[in-house]
């Protein structure tokens, strides 16, 4: 299957060839022809499946076919014309043709970056991000250019709509990206308000990890006779990501183990997920003192600082990113070899998104959760959600005082089987929890990094989760 066979125009094909895309992914194969034909889509697929191109390529194809003369004057042109007539120009609202709603600023920026890449040969089409945290004057400048495509988080978009800066009467295409996540984050009212402001003739494409429950209900309300596409790809199951649990006795043990694991020779770049913003900062500081190149990323940082940190990560200047769940989606850096759950996520869905930061672009990745003995149940919840068992590992010199088998009971039958790598067990891996007292030993020991424990932090259940 080729991109040409999907019906995309030559400008887009050239951009894809230049970007090194040789063949469409499964979600692209199904979504692109249907979307070019103008159908509404409900797509269940996850980040890493190529979903951004699946909605953006057919949309760019359709937008590039709109006759610019028929599209009328831009707000800027109308204001210039008014000045030429000696009239005082009135502010004209931007009239985008396409709107992409995303749950996070990071994902919005990722979508905009990809759109710029795909539309490089379509000079007339511009995409801009409208995000919370960005200065208003800057956003006004962007809107005054009347971009064809807006990529936005719901909250800030509503602000601009309500102050008359955006008019959706000309909107042709609406995309809800990671709709399940937007609903989890409480954006349902905002989304409905935005959808109500768009013409009922629009094409709607909704992408979500699941199409069940609340998301399914909303999807049915806002689409017309949609084509349903469900993709269960290797990337969704994270078959290329080796997963492990390491049990720890206390915070000092956890910090020593993290320090050791971060010195692994196979580690290129890593993301360490924490439950709180404060811990993200504290750990980043400690790792920098311990000689790592580390930076924190969380929702208390200004957008500019977040962008700079992500740029440094992409350029390889930052080796270890310490992040809250704000970074669980949208970071797409193929050189991230390791993901650490310093704290387990509150929701199993977030575990899947977190570990998906590694194993990008067809590479392998390693996802390690550092788990307090009391958190065994949370590991089980994740295993039930992913339908994969996560092997427990022990490193010589860093053994927990309690054995793994004391921390969790034997696995349920019917799940992971020896030799089955679906749970990410390495071929040589041994399920230590099924063989009490015979933990897998690996690697050599290195000197522990941290001294003492963090007096402000406690493990697991006693943390607050303030940055979702």
Q: Where are the beta strands (DSSP E) in 15-124?
A: 41-44, 98-101
Written as six digits, the tokens of 10 are 């030559």
Gyration radius of the chain over CA positions: 24
Residue with Cβ nearer ligand AMP (8 or 143)? 8
Written as six digits, the tokens of 425 are 């067990």
Member of 49, 112, 269, 430 binding ligand AMP (CB under 6 A): 49
How far apart are CB 101 and ligand AMP at their closest, in Å? Answer: 15
Judged by CB under 6 A, the number of residues near ligand AMP is 14
Member of 39, 51, 254, 256 binding ligand AMP (CB under 6 A): 51
Residue with Cβ nearer ligand AMP (43 or 395)? 43
3-state SS class at 221 = helix
The CA distance from 376 to 362, in Å, is 31
CB 297 within 8 A of CB 310: yes
Question: What is the pattern of x (binds ligand AMP, CB under 6 A) and - over residues 114-143?
Answer: x-----------------------------
Residue 259: how many CA atoms within 13 Å on its side-chain side? 23
Member of 31, 41, 48, 229 binding ligand AMP (CB under 6 A): 48
Member of 6, 31, 53, 218 binding ligand AMP (CB under 6 A): 53
Instruction: Confirm or reject binding of residue 236 to ligand AMP (CB under 6 A).
Output: no
Residue with Cβ nearer ligand AMP (22 or 266)? 22
Member of 37, 81, 289, 361 binding ligand AMP (CB under 6 A): 361
Residue with Cβ nearer ligand AMP (51 or 373)? 51
Contacts of 280 (CB under 8 A, 6+ apart): 274, 296, 297, 298, 322, 323, 324
- Compute φ and ψ for 42, nearest 5 degrees: -120, 115
Contacts of 374 (CB under 8 A, 6+ apart): 459, 460, 461
CB 337 within 8 A of CB 268: yes
Q: Where are the beta strands (DSSP E) in 312-461?
A: 320-323, 336-341, 365-372
How far apart are CB 321 and ligand AMP at their closest, in Å? Answer: 17
Q: According to CB under 6 A, which residues from 294 to 333 bind ligand AMP?
A: 332
How far apart are CB 330 and ligand AMP at their closest, in Å? Answer: 8
Burial 4-39 (b: 16+ CB within 10 A, else e): eebebbebbbebbeeeebeebbbbbbbbbbbbbeeb
Member of 8, 11, 12, 24 binding ligand AMP (CB under 6 A): 24
Residue with Cβ nearer ligand AMP (283 or 367)? 367
Listed ranges 41-49, 86-94, 243-251, 388-396: which one lies at the site for ligand AMP (CB under 6 A): 41-49
The CA distance from 386 to 373, in Å, is 21
Listed ranges 18-26, 122-130, 345-353, 411-419: which one lies at the site for ligand AMP (CB under 6 A): 18-26
Residue with Cβ nearer ligand AMP (356 or 391)? 356
Binding site for ligand AMP (CB under 6 A): 21, 24-25, 28, 47-53, 114, 332, 361
């Amino acid at each position: 299957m080729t991109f040409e066979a999907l019906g995309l125009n030559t400008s887009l094909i050239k951009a894809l060839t230049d970007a090194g895309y040789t063949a469409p992914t499964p979600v692209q194969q199904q979504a692109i022809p249907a979307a070019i034909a103008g159908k509404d889509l409900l797509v269940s697929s996850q980040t890493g499946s190529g979903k951004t191109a699946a909605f953006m390529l057919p949309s760019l194809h359709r937008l590039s076919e709109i006759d610019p003369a028929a599209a009328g004057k831009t707000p800027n042109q109308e204001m210039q014309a008014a000045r030429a007539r000696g009239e005082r120009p009135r502010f004209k609202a931007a009239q985008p043709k396409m709107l992409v709603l995303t749950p996070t600023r990071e994902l919005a920026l990722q979508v905009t970056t990809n759109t710029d890449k795909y539309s490089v040969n379509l000079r007339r089409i511009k995409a801009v991000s409208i995000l919370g945290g960005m200065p208003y004057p800057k956003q006004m400048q962007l809107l005054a250019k009347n971009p064809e495509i807006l990529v936005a988080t719901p909250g800030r978009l509503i602000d601009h709509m309500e102050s008359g800066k955006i008019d959706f009467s000309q909107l042709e295409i609406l995309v809800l990206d990671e709709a399940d996540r937007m609903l989890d984050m409480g954006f349902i009212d905002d989304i409905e308000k935005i959808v109500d402001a768009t013409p009922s003739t629009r094409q709607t494409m909704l992408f979500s990890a699941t199409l069940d429950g609340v998301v399914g209900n909303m999807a049915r309300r806002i689409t017309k006779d949609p084509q349903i596409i469900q993709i269960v790809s290797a990337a969704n199951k994270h078959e290329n990501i080796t997963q492990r649990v390491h049990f720890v006795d206390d915070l000092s043990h956890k910090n020593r183990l993290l320090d050791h694991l971060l010195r692994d020779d196979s580690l290129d770049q890593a993301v360490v997920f924490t439950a709180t913003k404060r811990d993200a900062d504290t750990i980043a500081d400690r790792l920098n003192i311990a000689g790592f190149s580390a930076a924190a990323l969380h929702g208390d940082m200004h957008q500019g600082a977040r962008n700079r940190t992500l740029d440094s990560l992409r350029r390889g200047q930052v080796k270890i990113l310490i992040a809250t769940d704000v970074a669980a989606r949208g970071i797409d850096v193929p050189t991230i070899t390791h993901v650490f759950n310093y704290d387990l996520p509150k929701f199993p869905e977030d575990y899947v998104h977190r570990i998906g930061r590694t194993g990008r672009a067809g590479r392998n990745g390693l996802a390690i959760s550092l788990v307090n003995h009391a958190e065994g149940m949370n590991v089980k919840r994740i295993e039930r959600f992913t339908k994969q068992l996560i092997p427990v590992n022990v490193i010589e010199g860093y053994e927990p005082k309690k054995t793994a088998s004391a921390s969790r009971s034997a696995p349920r039958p019917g799940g992971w089987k020896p030799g089955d790598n679906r749970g990410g067990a390495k071929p040589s891996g041994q399920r230590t929890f099924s063989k009490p007292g015979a933990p897998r030993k690996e690697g050599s020991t290195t000197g522990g990094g941290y001294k003492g424990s963090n007096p402000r932090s406690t493990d697991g259940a006693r943390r607050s989760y303030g940055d979702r």
